[in-house]
Every structure is written in structure tokens, then in C-alpha cells.
Structure 1
């Protein structure tokens, strides 16, 4: 019997991915809670949007990850995080799409990882328990 046969647990893998995404995004949300969102407000206004739109970051980086963490409304919460990441990529990182970091990786690999992971969590979530 192969050790890898006992290692196959798709449900556990999805829970691990969901919880990891939630915790890592929550760190960003916590930074917004403790340091404020003045910089985001400025970017939103510069993009021609009303300043209150910046408060949506709390939905994408605090509320949605908390839902993921406890396993409630997983698909909508993951999609909110994905949308939040698209907005961040456009508003904050638009000029970084072709940049390489000092360590040789893509400058937006973290943002891309969060975006793709959120999509995978939304697509892979099983409704049955």
C-alpha cells in the first residue's frame, strides 16, 4: 500500500486552503483597522470614485475572511475576496504588472496568489458535509 494513497483528502485540502486564505487576508484587514484607510481613500478618489468606496476594503479583508474562517457563505465570501483583489490590482498595482521583484519573482505574485486562491476556494467548495 502506498503512503500517497492515504494522503489523498480533497475536503481537508480545501479546508486548509480556505483557512489559510482567510488568515493571510485578515492580516491585511487588521493593518487597515489599526492604521486606517486614508491611502486607499486617496486612490479611490483619484480614480474618480466616491471616498466611501474605500470602506469596501473592510468587507473584502475583514468580513469575508471571517466568513471563510468559520465556513459560512464560503462561495460568496471567496468571490468577495477575489473582487477585492481585482480592485487592488487595478487601483494600487496597475503599474506593477510587468515588474520583477528583487528576488526574481513577479512583483504581483502575492496578489495573484490571493486572487487565484479565492477563485479556487469558490470553485472547489462542496455544499454537502
Structure 2
């Protein structure tokens, strides 16, 4: 089973998920650390839960990134129409059941972000 951990203790993922929804798009970022020798198994399970999420209302896009070399890091980046859509998809029993399929020792650091405008560099 996967262990969900907060990357930022001042903004726990489950608290972010329950926050007010202003209707703007959000980006879900999840940094995984796979147990030694289990990267391919984590990818297989991620595929299952990604297919479930992809079928949910409000899902816009998703991409999995894999660390290079011998890295055991995987990063999922998914864009959703709004926070409510992600919350509803995350709370579905079918999705919650996939969390038990990850190899023991799998770590997950989920967070929710939005684009930020930085003058002269990028727009929100």
C-alpha cells in the first residue's frame, strides 16, 4: 500500500483537497518514491489509477515523468478543470481501492498548485 505524505506540512494535501473551490483550473502534482526494484510495478498501478482518473468529469490532462538514471522518482502532473472535480475523483471508492495495490514502501507526496504569474517570465 502507498503511504501519502505531505511535502508541505503547513498545507496538507487532504486539507488542500477540502478547500473552497473558486472554479479555476488546478494542477495536481504527485511525486512518488518507488521502493527499490519496484519502479515498474508502481508505474503499472499508476496506469490503473490514471485510467480511472482520466475517465472522470473535469479531467483535462495528465503526464507521468520518470527520473533518469537509477532514480526511483516518478512525478505525475495532472490538470483539472477545478478543485471539486479532483476531489470527487480522488474520493471515489474505485480510485481509493487502487491505492492498496501499490507495493509496500511506496511513498507519495501529493499537492495541488495553480499557475503563478512572474513578471517577464510567465503568466498565470
Normalising to structure 2: TM-score of the pair? 0.31
Higher relative contact order (CA 8 A, sep 6+): 2
Name the structure where strand makes up a greater proportion of residues.
2
Name the structure where helix makes up a greater proportion of residues.
1
Normalising to structure 1: TM-score of the pair? 0.30
